[in-house]
Structure 1
C-alpha cells in the first residue's frame, strides 16, 4: 500500500482517514508509525471497523473510530495528514 511505501509521511503524525470503511488504511497508517489515527466513517461500517481495531492490541490504543460525516465532527487535536480511498461511483 502507498501508506507503507511512504512511512516518513506518517511517522509521529496525527492522521485522519476519511471514509474509513473497515479501517484498513487506518491500520496501515498506525503500522507506518502514526502517533494517532482518527478513522471517520459515516455508515454502519464504523461499528465493524471499531470491532476489528479493538481486536488488535497493536492498533487499539492508536486508532479512534468516529461514526459521522467528516464535515460534522470535531477532532480533539489538529491533524497532520489526511488519507482517503474513495470507492463507488
Structure 2
C-alpha cells in the first residue's frame, strides 16, 4: 500500500518509520487505517508526519476505536453474544474455538 502517494498531493509526507507504525496498527482494516489517518493528521504539527506523530495517532486512534467501533457493537450485542465475546476475549491473541 502506497500511503505517501495519497497524502503527497496535499503537500505532506510520511516518514518510513511513521508508516511502519500506522500500517501494522491498522492490521489490514481500511476503517482502522482511516481512524489512524485522521488521528495522525490531527497530531502532526509539520508537513512531515513523524514517528512521534504516529505514536500519538495510534494511541488516540485505539481510544477512538474502543469508544466508537467496539463499544457500539457491544451495546448492540445480545446477552448470548456478549457471553461469547467474553469467552473469546479470555484467549487474548490465541485463536478461539467455537466448539
TM-score in terms of structure 2 length: 0.19
Q: Which has the higher contact order (CA 8 A, sep 6+)?
A: 1
TM-score in terms of structure 1 length: 0.21
Greater strand content? 1
Q: Which has the larger radius of gyration?
A: 2
